[in-house]
Amino acid sequence: MTVSNSLTTEELALIFEGDQTQPMYVYQDTVPAELQVLKSNCIAIDPQDANVKMLIARMFKTVTDGDRAGVGIAAPQVGLNRRLFLVKRFDKANEPFEFFINPQITWYSAVLQQGEEGCLSIEDRYDAVYRSLAVQITYFDLEGNHYQEVVEGYTAVIIQHEYDHLNGILFTDRIEEQEQRKYEDATLETPLVYEV
C-alpha cells in the first residue's frame, strides 16, 4: 500500500510547537472546537514522512506524562486527524508502548469483555464498556512495512479504544450505543487457558 498523505503546514506547526521535549496539549471534549476534531474521521498518514517520528516521540511523551499518564493515545487527541496511535502492550514483556500507523482492525471476536475505561480527552469520567476479547489488526511501521497480528485481552481493549478515536468515536459514544443493547453473561465450564 502506497500512502502519499503528507503532513500539512498546519500539522507540522502543531508537531513542532514549543519545546519538542515536552508533552503536547491534549484536546478535551468540553471545548467545542476541540470536540469537533475528536469527533472527525481521520485520514491516512505517510509512514515514511520524516516528521512522523517526531510526532510519535511527542505523543509518547504526552501519554507517559506524570499524573496525566495513560495506556494509549491517538493523533486526534493532540489535534491531528491522522490515522496513528500508541498503545501500551500489556501482552508483551516489560509492557512497551508501540505505535500503529494507518491501522485497520480487520476482525473482532464475537466474545466480548466488559471493563472500565477512561480517556485523556474526557476528564474525570470512567465507565464500563463492552469490547471484543480479541482483534486482528494490520498496520505500518516507519519504513512502510506492513504487519498483521491478533491481539487479546486488555491490550485488545486499548487498541479498540484508540482505533475508535481515528473514526471520531469516543468511549462515551460506545456507552450510549451499548445501553440500547442486551448482553448475556457467558459462564464457561472450563476456564480459558492462555499459553505464554
CA-closest candidate to residue 74, choices 84, 65, 64, 60: 84
CB 40 within 8 A of CB 76: yes
42 is in an annotated binding site: no
Distance CA 167, CA 89 (A): 22
Give me the amino acid identity at 163.
Y
| Active site annotation includes 162 | yes
119 is in an annotated binding site: yes
Distance CA 84, CA 137 (A): 13
Helical spans, DSSP H, in the chain: 9-15, 32-38, 51-63, 153-166, 171-178
Q: Which residues pair with 107 in a beta bridge?
A: 136
The active-site residue, picked from 10, 149, 162, 195, is 162
Return the SS3 of 128.
strand
Place of cell 511523551: 61
**Eight-state DSSP code of residue 18:** S
CB 102 within 8 A of CB 3: yes
Sign of CA dihedral 166, 171, 177, 183: positive
165 is in an annotated binding site: yes
Going by the annotation, the residues of the binding site for Fe cation are 119, 161, 165
Positions marked active-site: 162
